[in-house]
Structure 1
Amino acid sequence: MSFGDPNNPYGRPQGEQPGQQPGQQPGYGYPQGQQPPGYGYPQAPPVQQPYGHPEAPTRMPGGVKAARVMLWVISGFQVLSGILAFAAMGTIDEAINDSGATTAESEAFADLGKGLVAFVAVLTLVFAALSITLALKMKTGRNATRVCAIVYGAFATLLGVLALPFGIVTMALGILIIVFVAKADGAAWFQRPRH
């Protein structure tokens, strides 16, 4: 007797499972907790992020970390430059006094020089504050922080070119900030969904 042939009139009745007593009903559902292929609802697609976004990065990418460090370095250079510029204001007075010129013209020239140096020093300190703010916002910032960092890198590059040969480091760091923040992983970091 062959129980394997479903058309065998002497075989096991249909619906009866191996190891089951004759006349006993099969267990509820499909045996061994498996679902037969083709029955029921189709499998659901894998769970994704809301609105079909790809999986957001959970850690800051290395390029963004490097750009953050470069912003701190540039801010240090700018604070140092601002302090040196304010110190240079005193040397302008000393140079005028040492020259012996006490005319109104030399006084006006000294005041113009001190005003120009003070403007550059204040502008340098404002850019240092912006650099510090951007470095602090890299961790939690949105896409606006990324855009500001790219624009800041462009200004740092331009000012580095204008201050050559001393500005070579600032110019190189500005270019690297632009590259690291504008990369795809940097964009994904700043455009990640916030919950």
Structure 2
Amino acid sequence: MSFGDPNNPYGQPPQQPPTAPQNPPGYGYPPAPPGVPPQGYGYPQQPAYPGYPGGNQMFPQTMPGLLVTARVFLFIISAVQILAALGWLYVAALANDVSDAADSLSSSSDDPFNSFSDGAGIATGVLLFIALLAAGLAALSITLGVKFGRGGQGVRITTVIYGALGGIVGLIMLVVGLDSGLATAIVFPLIWVVFATIITVAPVVASGTAWFARPRY
């Protein structure tokens, strides 16, 4: 009885057909279950947390150009507001000096200088309020511009509201300038409206929204 006989119980067992080698899992990864391609070096990575909301959303790594422009405009507006605050403060000081001088010249309650002093005092208070308002707006403009780098949704919403209100004020000044017919009364309000429009739109577009919604570590 030969070893080549397939019915020989003492012969060599029949050889099995070779099987395809299994791809080893990547370094540090557990073996993949049947039917799932292994992941590792040279294999495409599967998206992490596919069911997590926004898990695959891409966020900008650098500030979008429109936001950079809006940030520069905020700093320019803050400089104008600081100059305006100083100007109104100087005028308020002049009005206060006039009020003091009228007080020193008035001799009785019926004296015309007394009425003039009261009017100058009221003007001083109004001018001082305007100067403080301009200074506060300048501080807000600087704060929003600085917070563009790390701020979140609060900074975004505040910027949109601030820009929209500034645009309304600019439109009112533009209408008044058009009624006056003076070119100098139109240029400044027009520039103000352009600045306010960019400041309002920049946080609303898709790139601006993604920038303020990005994760912070």
TM range (shorter): 0.7 to 0.9
Q: How does 1:1-195 map to 2 (within 5 A)?
A: 15-16=17-18, 29-30=21-22, 33=23, 40-43=34-37, 45-47=46-48, 51-53=52-54, 54-92=57-95, 103-164=113-174, 165=185, 166-195=188-217
8 Å contact kept, 1:71–1:135: yes
Provide Cα deviations, 1:39-74, integer angstroms capped at 9, x if missing partner.
923357333699331022211111111111111011
The CA RMSD measured in Å over matched residues stands at 3.1
CA distance in 2, matches of 1:34, 1:92: 87
Provide Cα deviations, 1:19-49, integer angstroms capped at 9, x if missing partner.
xxxxxxx68x33xx499xxx92335733369
CA distance in 1, matches of 2:207, 2:168: 25
Instruction: Give the alignment's TM-score, normalised by structure 1.
Output: 0.73
Provide Cα deviations, 1:136-160, integer angstroms capped at 9, x if missing partner.
1100000110000001112222333
Instruction: Give the alignment's TM-score, normalised by structure 2.
Output: 0.66
8 Å contact kept, 1:93–1:110: yes
- Describe the shift of the 1:87–1:66 C-alpha distance in structure 2 as closer, same or farther (beyond 3 A): same
- Describe the shift of the 1:83–1:46 C-alpha distance in structure 2 as closer, same or farther (beyond 3 A): same
8 Å contact kept, 2:67–2:202: yes
- Describe the shift of the 1:93–1:167 C-alpha distance in structure 2 as closer, same or farther (beyond 3 A): farther
Following superposition, the deviation at residue 14 of structure 1 comes to 5.6
Q: Which amino acid aligns with 1:168?
A: L
8 Å contact kept, 2:166–2:196: yes
Provide Cα deviations, 1:85-120, integer angstroms capped at 9, x if missing partner.
11112443567769x996111001111111111100
Percent of aligned pairs sharing the same letter: 28
Q: Which amino acid aligns with 1:47?
A: A
Aligned to 2:46, what secondary structure does the other structure show? coil
8 Å contact kept, 1:48–1:55: no
Following superposition, the deviation at residue 183 of structure 1 comes to 0.8
CA distance in 2, matches of 1:66, 1:49: 36
Following superposition, the deviation at residue 171 of structure 1 comes to 2.6
Gaps of 5+ in 1: 1-12, 17-25
Following superposition, the deviation at residue 122 of structure 1 comes to 0.2
CA distance in 1, matches of 2:66, 2:163: 14
Q: Which amino acid aligns with 2:36?
A: P
